[in-house]
Amino acid sequence: MAKREKSQPTVIPRAAASRLSRYLRYLEELDRNGVTTTSSQALGAALGVTAAQVRKDLGYFGQFGYPGLGYKIAQLTPELRRILGTDKAWNVALVGIGNLGTALLRYKGFSAHGFRIVALFDASPALVGKRVEGNEVHHVDEISARVRECNIELAVLSVPGEAAQAVADRLVEAGIRGIFNFAPALLNLTQEVAYVSIDLALELEQLSFVVTQRERESGL
Amino acid sequence: MAKREKSQPTVIPRAAASRLSRYLRYLEELDRNGVTTTSSQALGAALGVTAAQVRKDLGYFGQFGYPGLGYKIAQLTPELRRILGTDKAWNVALVGIGNLGTALLRYKGFSAHGFRIVALFDASPALVGKRVEGNEVHHVDEISARVRECNIELAVLSVPGEAAQAVADRLVEAGIRGIFNFAPALLNLTQEVAYVSIDLALELEQLSFVVTQRERESGL
């Protein structure tokens, strides 16, 4: 606690943060099945980690378990949502309304977890002014004005790689707090902006890598 | 080397494997710009890691640099492709031809890196028999026959969470070597199958987590 008072922020490892989301998914599933309590053993088993790891991950944020009982699902679930920030709705901008962008717009998983795509942007004259899934597409030049106007905190980027940095710069300038990047590009961003990047081809390449390594190990 | 002779496979950390893809992307970019050599310093700087990390990552696979010169791009590029298995084309099955599946099918990045989606599967009577982007959609019951027939080694899963495990089981049974899963589900797979999973909502949640933590740290 002394450390916190010196305003030294606790750094939560990325893998631990990702597990928090997975614990929450598992708790939601248990709840749907009418289960009311669980344990660090059970949470760990569901994710393939140890019970000690579960306790360590949750321990960054407080003491949630009861000795001999484990975790009360009705209590831990809202705590995890609060920690993850999904106890509130987030306004999200989507930049790049191509095939991937349109699929992301239609993707039910975002709104189911409180992420509302409230503004669409593209640079293409063929798209600007059109409605996609009921939302008007605005020109990227309007990013700054609309991000402020609609109180948008997060942005999803599905633009071509070569356009990504310029769009990211506009979003940051407009005060965006986090960027979820699908463009195959390494973005140079200020530390203040949270950042998650997925390069789909690169992820698929990880599969071909593992399969290739195994074939070579086994002499195929 | 003694370890290798005992057929003890070298375990390459996942983060290192992911960087191999990123080094390759950067080398390709340098090549497009007419650059012919680079260094572990430059590669590290591009990815935000140290030169020592670059040398360690590449060192798993051999000695590629030249003292005082660095890496010859025309030499390291094909070596990385060979290591990653992208020096050959891969036949890929796509299971689940909804919005996300259709976007993945249209996504140019896969074919650009040698991944050819050669078979489409879905369980919906409304889709089976239809053509999407020039490919006929087959029923999931045909997975086994077609995976063998078309020599398919990798599969992309974009089915609903509740259908994912059953589809994965069929793919594994058919002899698939790697699965790229977009379904929001924890899959239980045999160790022999390479596995990459992306839950898009969960990734976006990582942004809300970081933004929320920062707001709390700064007392907002």
Domain residues of chain A, as ranges?
Answer: 2-83, 90-202
pLDDT tens-digit profile of A115-145? 999 999 999 999 999 999 899 999 999 999 9
- Mean pLDDT, each 10-residue run in order, chain B (220 residues): 47 88 94 96 93 95 90 97 96 94 88 94 97 95 95 95 94 96 88 91 93 83
Whether the model clears a pTM of 0.90, i.e. scores above it, the answer is: no
**Nearest to residue B209, comparing CAs of A61, A28, A181?**
A61
How many C-beta atoms surround the C-beta of residue B12 within 10 A? 16
Taking CB atoms and an 8 Å cutoff, what residues of chain B touch A192? Answer: 214
pLDDT of residue A3: 41
User: Of B22, B26, B100, which is closest to A107 when you measure between CB atoms?
Assistant: B100
Instruction: Show Cβ contacts of residue A205 under 8 Å, excluding neighbours closer than 6 positions.
Output: B21, B84, B85, B86, B113
- Are the beta carbons of B153 and A194 separated by less than 8 Å? no
pLDDT of residue A9: 57
pLDDT of residue A93: 98
Q: Using the structure block, give the residue that is written with the tokens 């390709």.
A: B28
The yes-or-no verdict on residue A146 having pLDDT over 80 is yes
pLDDT tens-digit profile of A197-209? 998 999 999 999 9
Portion of chain A with pLDDT greater than 90, in percent: 73
**Nearest to residue B204, comparing CAs of A145, A175, A104?**
A104
Q: Which residue in A210, A217, A218, A220 has the most chain B C-beta atoms within 10 A of its own C-beta, making it the best mutation to test that interface?
A: A210
pLDDT of residue B144: 95
Q: What CATH number is given for B90-202 in this structure?
A: 3.40.50.720
In DSSP terms, A94 is beta-bridged to: A120, A156
pLDDT of residue A2: 39
Write the class of the CATH domain A2-83.
mainly alpha
Q: Is B155 helix (H, G, I), strand (E, B) or coil?
A: strand
Under 8 Å between Cβ of A203 and B198? yes
**Phi, psi (rounded to 5 degrees) for A202:** -65, -40
Taking CB atoms and an 8 Å cutoff, what residues of chain B touch A99? Answer: 102-103, 106-107
**Nearest to residue B46, comparing CAs of A166, A193, A157, A187?**
A187
pLDDT tens-digit profile of A40-71? 999 999 988 999 999 999 999 999 989 888 99
Portion of chain A with pLDDT greater than 70, in percent: 95
